[in-house]
Structure formats: C-alpha cells, structure tokens
Amino acid sequence: MRASSVFIFLSAVGVGEAFYHAWLENAFTTNWLIVKFAPYGSFFGVPYWAFGVVWFPLVFVVALWTTRLGREALKWQLLLFLTVGNVFTGYLWFVDLLVANSFNAAYVGLYATNYALTGIVVAQNWSNRAAQDFAAGTALGMVVGVFFGAFGVALLGITGGVIGAVEGYTSTT
C-alpha cells in the first residue's frame, strides 16, 4: 500500500504544479474565454494550462477512489488511464521543442510528474505482463528516439510503451 500512498501524494503534487502553471500563465486574471491564443498556445482554443488543471485533480480523485484512499494496491488499469496523459505530453513536447522552440521547467515538471505516476504503477504491477511490456517498449522507444533528439525520445518512448502494453495485455487475455 506504500506505492498507493506515494501515488496519491504525487498526484496531489501534480495538482499543485498544474495550478502553479496556470498562475504563471495569468489564468486567474484573464478572461480566457475571450482571449485568442496563439496556435501553439492552445489546443482547439483551450489553453494548455487548462488541461493540467483538469487532468491532475482527475488523477488525484481516481487514485483515491481506485485505492480506497490508499488502503489497496494500485490497479494495473491505471497504466491505461495515465497513458492518455502521456500521449498528450508527446504532442506537447512536439509543440514545445519543434514548433515554439521553447523549454519551460513548469511544463517539463508536469510531464515528469505524469511519467513518474506511470512508473509507480508499472513498478507496483511488475508481475503483470502488460506492465513489463510497457516498460520494455518505453525503454526501447526511448533508446531509438535518442537519434531524433528530445522529441524523438518522448514520442518513441510513449509509442513504444503503448505498443508494449497492448501487446502484453492481448497476450494475457
């Protein structure tokens, strides 16, 4: 259950990071419904900070619910849930590094928090084939991605993890 407590704590840290990032973007002093954001500052008109403000509280609530307030082990299905966030960070790495040509520690902190949460679930569920294949796919993708720079590491690592998890899940059912 210790991993559950760490996961819940890190989810709460993610909530704090997300609101800090929103504060840095002046989210609480701007009527963002009428602001026209730059094409690389929003996703279909929704500013990126809004995704963190929704995602990390959702992760926190799901963590509390699925672990019965930290009394039960992390379910391996959380891996599938967190992969949604990991895939979105792949898009954000693309925007940050290749489109906007910028690097922001607040962004990277949010991405790393989601990756750390994913790692905790994988470690807790290491005996599950899907978790092992997710880790192997992520590692292989990241190694290949090195040849394409930071974006390649992120994109191919995430893609390898997803492919590995799907392969591991389908081979056990």
Evaluate whether 151 touches 97 at the Cβ level (below 8 Å).
yes
Neighbour-count burial for 21-54, b at 16+ CB within 10 Å, e otherwise: bbeebeeeeeebeeeeeeeeebbeeebbbbbbbe
Strand partners, 99: none
Cα–Cα distance, 171 to 71 (Å, whole number) = 30
In this predicted structure, the answer to whether residue 58 has a pLDDT above a threshold of 90 is yes
What pLDDT is stored for residue 165 in this prediction?
A: 65
Looking at domain 2-125, does it have CATH number 1.10.10.10? Answer: no
In sequence order, which residues have a C-beta less than 8 Å from that of residue 82 and are 6 or more positions away? 59, 114, 117, 118, 121
pLDDT average, residue stretch 136-155? 73
Q: Model confidence over 81-109: pLDDT tens digits? A: 888 888 888 778 777 777 777 777 888 88
Would the pTM of this model clear 0.85, i.e. be above it? no
Measured distance CA(139)–CA(145) in Å, rounded: 10
First to last CA, the chain: 26
Percent of the chain clearing pLDDT 70 (strictly above): 82
pLDDT above 80: residue 65: yes
Domain boundaries, the chain: 2-125
Tell which phi-psi region holds residue 35, choosing left (phi > 0), alpha (psi between -120 and 50) or beta: beta
Q: Is the pLDDT of residue 148 over 90?
A: no
Token duo for residue 149: 């720079």
What phi and psi values does residue 47 have, to the nearest 5 degrees? Answer: -65, 145
